[in-house]
Every structure is written in C-alpha cells, then in structure tokens.
Chain A
Amino acid sequence: MIKNQARLLQGNEAVVEGAIAAGLKFFAGYPITPSTEIAEQCAAKLPAAGGTFIQMEDEIASMAAVCGASLAGAKSMTATSGPGFSLKQENLGFAVKGEIPCVVVNVQRVGPSTGMPTSPAQGDVMQARWGAHGDHEIVALCPSSVEEAFSLTVEAFNIAEEYRTPVILLMDEVIGHLREKVVLPSKEELVVKEREKPSVPQGEYKPFAMKQGNIPGVPPLAAYGEGYRFHVTGLTHGEDGFPTNNPAIAEKQLKRLNEKISSNKEALVKVEEFHLDDAEIVVFAYGATARSARKAVNDARAQGIKAGMLRPVTIWPFAEDALLKVKAKSPKAVIVAEMNLGQMVLPVKRVMGDSVPVVQVNKLAGQLIEPEEILSAVKEAI
C-alpha cells in the first residue's frame, strides 16, 4: 500500500519536528512530565540535524545554557512543565533583558507545585505573562492541535529571532500527548526567519542600539565567536551593553525593550474567529479547551443557537483588538472557558466593560473541560 502525505504525530513530537524545521541547533533541558517526549525526541533527532542536545543538572542551568547557546548564534530551545517553568523564570527574565532569542516550551500540568504531573491544566497563563519580574513584554503562543504544535513552534522561533526575545510555547498536557493526523508543510512552503546580524565594522557595533535594525527597536545581534566583542548583562545597560544607572538611558532602554513588542501587536497577535459573524454568544477559549469549545459551538448551532468562538492563538500579547471587534457587535455574553480558576477572565472583562456580561467555565480536576459543560453555559446565557 502507498502511504499518503499525512503522518500520525504526538503534540510533543510535532514541537520537535517544528523546531528542527525552524533551524533548532541547541536544546538544553531537564525532562519533566508531560513535556518529556520533547527532550527525548530532541536527543534522538537533533544530532542528525547538526545540533546539540544536553541534559543539564536542573531547569535553571538549562535556561542559562539556552541563553548562552543563542548568543553564540544557535537557535535554542528548552521544554518544561509548571515546576520547571517557575525555575526558568530568572533566566527567562535575563533573556528578555539581554534580548536573547529563544523558545521556552511549557506543557502545562496541574499545579501549584508538583500538582498532578500527568493531568492537564492551563494554570500557567499568568505565570507566562508575569513570571519574570520587572516591566517586560512577552510573546506566548497557544496551540490547540498537533498541526499547530508544529506550525506555532516554527512561528515561535521566527518571532524570537526577528524580535530578539524569548517566546513561550504554552501548551497543555492534552495537546502535548495527543496523537493526531497531520500533513507537515514541505521545506519550500515553510517560512523560516533568521536574526538580523550587524553590518557595521567590529569596533562600532552597539548590541543594544536605540535606532538600528529592520524592525524599529530591535538592534541586530552578533554571534559570539564571529569577531564582534560585546557585553550582555541583566543589569540595566546602555547601547554598548555595559551597566548604567543613568536614569535617562535606563528609561529609554526599558521603553525600547517593551515597545519593540507592544508597538507590533498587529503583526504578533493571531486569533481564530469561528462563527463570530452573527454570534450572540461568544466563547473565548484557547489550547485544548478550544477543541471542546468548537464542539460546543457546533452543537449549539445545530440547536439553532447563534454561538461562536474567539480563540487567541497568541495568548500574549493579549488579543485586545479581536475582543473589541466582538464587543462592537454587542453579544449577549462572552463565556471564558479555561482549565484554571479564571486567569483570563479579568483581561476579557477589562475589554468588555459593563456592556457585555462575562461568564466563566472553569475546571481544576486535571481533566479537559467537556463540550457539554460549555454548551450548558451557552444555553444559560442565551
């Protein structure tokens, strides 16, 4: 029998396939359920793709190794789950501040602490946003299928490289462990982006220049070992990368650091709009929960209820514009469904204001929210 173009892939495997397709050359990690297959597959496949896999002594060191490898020019990634994600935050903040491109995968499980290692949750949404201290922007993408685990991993690398920033791939256990039929794009179909390198003479290179680069506010990044000597620190620094306490420079540099993301939201924030045109009830759901929400919307439509779904594919920055569009149509309610106690409810309420009621559907049991649970909320709201 002749095989077709499709493959059966697990979400975690698809992340590795996507990472290698995007040019991953360095993985450092400390395997943790339910992300372990990502480390396993990287160990198996990365050497053959010309890359390096290293299992570090812990999560802190693995995030530090990722920063180092990226500064040496290698596209770098680590993968973890809640407890490890907490440990990575310090060096994740360092990557934000040092403007070091990298991808951090968090396959979410039930927390806090070690929680329920093999059970799904979406409890790290706010940790993804604010886990690192200090004012900063972060980009986090949230796949809801195995196909997206692949495509958003590629996207995560592209954003990381283009914007010189860490990008979080915020999965959940359901998608991480789900095996699904996927058709992977060919090399020709894939868009793979590379970081911009400096073109100035070695002595003139400013790694944190205010006004350089193809994207405003994103200075080109040299690779250690290619001749450019430069300094990277977590301390607030000037254009040359050396620490400074100069208030004017600090203010300018920190604004640039935030604005390179916040002023490009239009390019960065992707959503899926499902039956939103005439929707009277809008379900706001992401990750695996969006699979249940899609069924709930289909079932509601079959019963004559005009339901729709807004799915933030990019969970951070927040899909404010898409929600404003929803608000402009004055739906009867927005239902926020998530496997946590309602971490995205306040951001949604902030946009909806007093004019559109916001209803919560939450689950902490380590189980995917069932379509019926969302459907009954839809029926109550109509």
Chain B
Amino acid sequence: MRLELRLAGEGGQGLITAGIILAEACAEYTDLNVVQTQSYGPESRGGASRADVIISSHEIDYPQVKKPDVLIVLAQEACDKYLPTVKDGGTVIIDTTYVKPVPEAQSQRVKVIEFPVSAKARELGREIVANIVALGLLVETTGIVPKDAVIAAILDRVPKGTEELNKQAFAAGVEAAKAL
C-alpha cells in the first residue's frame, strides 16, 4: 500500500503545516512509513503552495509525488494547477469557499468532494484553522491514519490556548466527510 496525498492552496492557508502534522502523526504515533515534501522558492511565492505526503506500510523508495491519489485544494489557482495531476480514479476535495466547481472533463475522471472548508473554519471562530478542517476531511476520506494519532500530532504543534478550537476544526472536517 502506498498512498500519495497533496494539500494545496495559497501561501498562508497553512497547508504545509497541515501536511507536516499529517506526516508527524504517521511517523510518531503509528507504524506507517511516511515522507513529506513541499514547494520551495519561486514556486511557493505568490501563487500556489503545496505540501505532499506519501504514506506507506512498506519502505518508501522514490520520495516524490507525481500523481496524487487524493488532492485537497483551498484556492482556485492551486486547483487549476494541481487538479490535472490527480491520478485517474483519484479523489479531489475542493473548498467551495474559494474554488469554483470542477470542470466536467475533470469530474468525470476523478471523484469530487465539495465542502466549504474555509467558511466552516470562520464559523468555528477563526479562518486560520481551515487547514485543520481540511486535515479532518482528508483523514476521514482516506481512512489511512487513525484519527487519535492525528489529533495527538495537532496538539503537539498548535499554539497554547488554541487546542480546543483546533480539535473542533478537525472534528468538523471529519463530520463533513462522513456526511458526504
């Protein structure tokens, strides 16, 4: 089993942090192998920002994501750029707060999940936790990492005083994925 995930949005939406948290959850709380990479430099400035995570029960040889099984996008530019990279039959989760519906040519090729990720985060109190809502959606959709491992990794990393908000954000993402 080797699952390739891509989290993409604009710089500042916290998707690289979300990718690192997911990878830390796998590394530090499970037996799964994991590698994480991200966009750097010109690629990460201004336009789309990207974090990739590969999770596997085996040794991970080639460490890069070419065709993600699952993509989650929180910004239009990121969607335009990375949707074509999703493998046929893969899944794309789009934040309808900022991303237009997926064109038909693509929606026939991949499974599309729509949810207002950022609006939900705003409703919970602060849009800054949209990345954690996204993580909840991703974890529930893929089912590859135990949720308590991810919650533990979130709590390891988030600033003091924001624990409850982040837990709520994660739970909201999980619930949303269950309902869809």
A residues within 8 Å of B by Cβ?
A: 1, 3-4, 6-8, 33-34, 117-119, 174, 177-181, 288, 291-292, 294-295, 298, 368, 370-371
Q: Determine if A371 and B62 form an interchain contact, defined as CB atoms under 8 angstroms apart.
A: yes
Interfacial residues of chain B within 22-70, with CB under 8 A of chain A in the complex: 23-24, 26-31, 33-38, 40-43, 60-64, 66
* Residue B104 interfacial (CB < 8 Å): no
Given A8-B28, A178-B63, A291-B61; A1-B148 close (CB under 8 Å):
yes
Contacts of A371 in B (CB 8 A): 61-62
Given A1-B149, A7-B27, A8-B20; A177-B37 close (CB under 8 Å):
yes
Main secondary structure, interface of A, reads mixed
Contacts of B38 in A (CB 8 A): 177
Q: Determine if A181 and B27 form an interchain contact, defined as CB atoms under 8 angstroms apart.
A: yes
Contacts of B43 in A (CB 8 A): 118
Q: Determine if B33 and A181 form an interchain contact, defined as CB atoms under 8 angstroms apart.
A: yes
Interfacial residues of chain B within 69-100, with CB under 8 A of chain A in the complex: none
Shortest 3 CB-CB contacts between residues of A and residues of B:
A118-B41, A181-B27, A8-B27
* Residue B3 interfacial (CB < 8 Å): no
Tally of A-B Cβ pairs under 8 angstroms: 75
**Among the listed B28, B30, B40, B62, which residue makes an inter-chain contact with A34, where contact means beta carbons less than 8 Å apart?**
B40
Contacts of A1 in B (CB 8 A): 29, 148-149, 151-152
**Among the listed B27, B62, B148, which residue makes an inter-chain contact with A291, where contact means beta carbons less than 8 Å apart?**
B62
CB pairs A–B below 8 angstroms (14 shown) = A3-B152, A4-B29, A8-B34, A33-B41, A177-B37, A178-B35, A178-B63, A180-B36, A180-B63, A181-B27, A295-B61, A295-B62, A368-B64, A370-B62
Contacts of B26 in A (CB 8 A): 8, 181
**Among the listed A117, A178, A179, A291, which residue makes an inter-chain contact with B41, where contact means beta carbons less than 8 Å apart?**
A117
Q: Closest approach, in angstroms, between the C-beta of A153 and any C-beta of chain B?
A: 19
Q: Closest approach, in angstroms, between the C-beta of B4 and any C-beta of chain A?
A: 13
CB closest residue in chain A, given B62: A295
Q: Determine if A3 and B29 form an interchain contact, defined as CB atoms under 8 angstroms apart.
A: yes
